[in-house]
C-alpha cells in the first residue's frame, strides 16, 4: 500500500469512529486523566504489512463500535469484539503513526528494492534511539542496513518520537512497534548489554504473561504460532538503540512490545526472483489471513496488557480448556526473563494445572 493510499485508507477507517473521538495532531491536547496507547509502524521501509495492519485494525475497531453486542462466553474468538472496541475507545487515547519512514518507503516504491531497510539516508531508525546507541548490536558503517546514524537521534523521525514520549502529560501505558519478518512477540530488552547481563524491565513478568495469553488465542483461532520472549533471548543477534527498548527503559512504558506480525514459512524459497519482498510481506493470496492474525494478536494483547491505572478489559477470550491466567503469570514470572516458545509454555502450564486437555 503506497503512502497516498495509506493516508486515504486511514481517513476512511477513522470515518467509522464517532467524530468527537478523532483529532488530528495539530488539534490534540493532553488531559491529566488520559491514558495513552501508541502504535508505530513501518520503521523499516521494506516492511509493508505493518502499516496496512495498523490502518485495517483501526477500521476493525470502528466497525466493532457499530456492531451488535458480542457473545460474552465465546472461546477462541478471532478479532475485535464490540465490548473490547468500546473499552479501548473509552479507556485510552490512541496515538497512531502508521508510516514512520515515509522517505524510505518512497525509495522502495521508486526503485522496487524491497531489501531497503533504512530511511532515505540509509539510517536504520530502529538503531537510532538513546538506549545502548552505537553498541555492538548496531553498525557505524553507512553501508550497513543496521547503520545507527552519525549521532544518537540524528534522524528527524527518531527525534520526533523521543520528544513525543517526553511531552505527554501522563506517560504512555502501552507502546507497540509493528514489524514483519517472523512470527515473534519481542519484549525488552534487545540490546547487547542486556543480552549479556540478562536485564529486563521491572514489569517483565506481567508483560510476558499478557503476550503469552495473546499468542495462545492466536494459535487457537488461526493455527499460527508466535514465539514470545525477551528480544535478547529470542533473536539471533543483539539490537542496540531500538525504539521499544527506549520506551521501556528510558520512557518507563510498562508494556512495550515489538510485534513481528508475519513471516514466510520458507524464507529461502520465498526470496526467489522477487528479492526480499515475500520474506517481509505476504503476497496477495496471503494478505487477508495475515491481517486477521495481526488483528487478533493486537486485540488480545490490549485486552491482557492492562496497567493497574486503567479499568480491567472485558473478560479476555481464551482457548477452550486453557488454564487460568494467574497460572500463566506465575509460570511466566518463574521463567523470566528467558525466551519461551508458546507451545512449550502452554504445555508446561497445562501440566502445572493438571488439566485433562493437556497437549
Active site residues: 260
Please give the Cα distance from 35 to 16 (Å, whole number): 22
Q: Alpha-carbon distance 261 to 167, whole Å?
A: 29
Query: The cell 504460532 sits on which residue?
Result: 225
Cα angle for residues 250, 254, 255 (degrees, 5° grid): 110
Beta-bridged to residue 229, according to DSSP, are 186
Long-range contacts of 278-286 (CB under 8 A, 24+ apart): 279/181, 280/44, 280/46, 280/47, 280/48, 280/49, 280/114, 280/180, 280/181, 281/46, 281/47, 281/48, 281/49, 281/114, 281/180, 282/49
Residue for grid cell 508483560: 207
Q: What is the 3-state secondary structure (H, E, C) of 197-234?
A: HCCCCCCHHHHHHHHHHHHHHHHHHHCCCCEEEEHHHH
Give the chain's largest Cα–Cα span: 57
Pairing assessment for the beta strands 227-230 and 93-97 based on DSSP bridges: unpaired
DSSP secondary structure, 39-88, as one string: EEE--STT--HHHHHHHHHHHHHHHHHTSPPPPTT-SS--S--HHHHHHH
Amino acid at each position: 500500500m503506497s503512502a497516498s493510499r495509506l493516508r486515504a485508507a486511514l481517513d476512511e477507517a477513522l470515518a467509522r469512529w464517532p467524530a468527537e473521538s478523532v483529532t488530528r495532531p495539530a488539534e490534540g491536547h493532553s488531559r491529566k486523566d488520559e491514558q495513552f496507547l501508541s502504535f508505530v509502524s513501518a520503521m523499516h521501509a521494506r516492511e509493508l504489512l505493518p502499516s496496512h495492519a495498523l490502518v485495517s485494525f483501526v477500521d476493525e475497531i470502528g466497525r466493532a463500535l457499530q456492531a451488535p453486542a458480542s457473545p460474552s462466553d465465546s472461546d477462541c474468538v478471532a478479532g475485535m469484539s464490540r465490548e473490547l472496541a468500546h473499552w479501548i475507545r473509552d479507556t485510552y487515547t490512541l496515538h497512531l503513526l502508521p508510516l514512520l519512514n515515509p522517505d524510505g518507503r518512497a525509495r522502495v516504491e521508486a526503485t522496487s528494492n524491497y531489501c531497503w531497510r533504512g530511511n532515505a539516508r540509509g539510517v536504520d531508525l530502529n538503531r537510532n534511539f538513546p538506549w545502548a546507541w552505537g553498541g555492538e548490536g548496531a553498525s557505524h558503517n553507512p553501508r550497513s542496513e543496521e547503520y545507527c546514524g552519525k549521532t544518537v537521534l540524528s534522524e528527524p523521525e527518531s527525534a520526533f518520537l523521543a520528544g513525543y514520549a517526553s511531552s505527554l502529560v501522563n506517560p504512555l501505558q502501552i507502546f507497540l512497534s509493528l514489524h514483519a519478518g517472523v512470527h515473534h512477540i519481542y519484549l525488552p530488552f534487545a540490546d547487547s548489554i542486556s543480552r549479556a547481563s540478562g536485564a529486563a524491565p521491572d514489569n517483565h513478568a506481567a508483560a510476558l504473561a499478557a503476550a503469552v495469553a495473546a499468542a495462545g488465542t492466536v494459535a487457537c483461532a488461526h493455527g499460527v504460532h508466535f514465539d514470545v520472549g525477551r528480544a535478547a533471548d529470542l533473536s539471533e543477534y543483539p539490537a542496540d538503540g531500538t525504539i521499544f527498548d527506549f520506551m521501556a527503559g528510558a520512557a518507563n512504558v510498562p508494556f512495550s512490545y515489538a510485534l513481528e506480525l508475519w513471516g514466510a514459512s520458507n524464507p529461502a524459497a520465498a526470496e526467489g526472483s522477487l528479492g526480499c519482498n515475500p520474506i517481509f510481506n505476504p503476497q496477495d493470496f496471503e494478505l487477508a489471513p495475515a491481517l486477521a492474525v495481526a488483528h487478533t494478536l493486537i486485540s488480545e494483547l490490549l485486552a491482557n496488557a492492562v496497567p493497574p491505572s486503567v479499568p480491567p478489559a472485558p473478560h479476555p477470550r481464551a482457548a477452550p480448556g486453557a488454564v487460568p491466567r494467574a497460572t500463566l503469570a506465575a509460570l511466566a514470572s518463574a521463567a523470566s526473563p528467558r525466551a519461551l516458545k508458546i507451545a512449550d509454555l502452554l504445555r508446561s502450564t497445562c501440566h502445572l494445572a493438571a488439566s485433562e486437555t493437556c497437549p
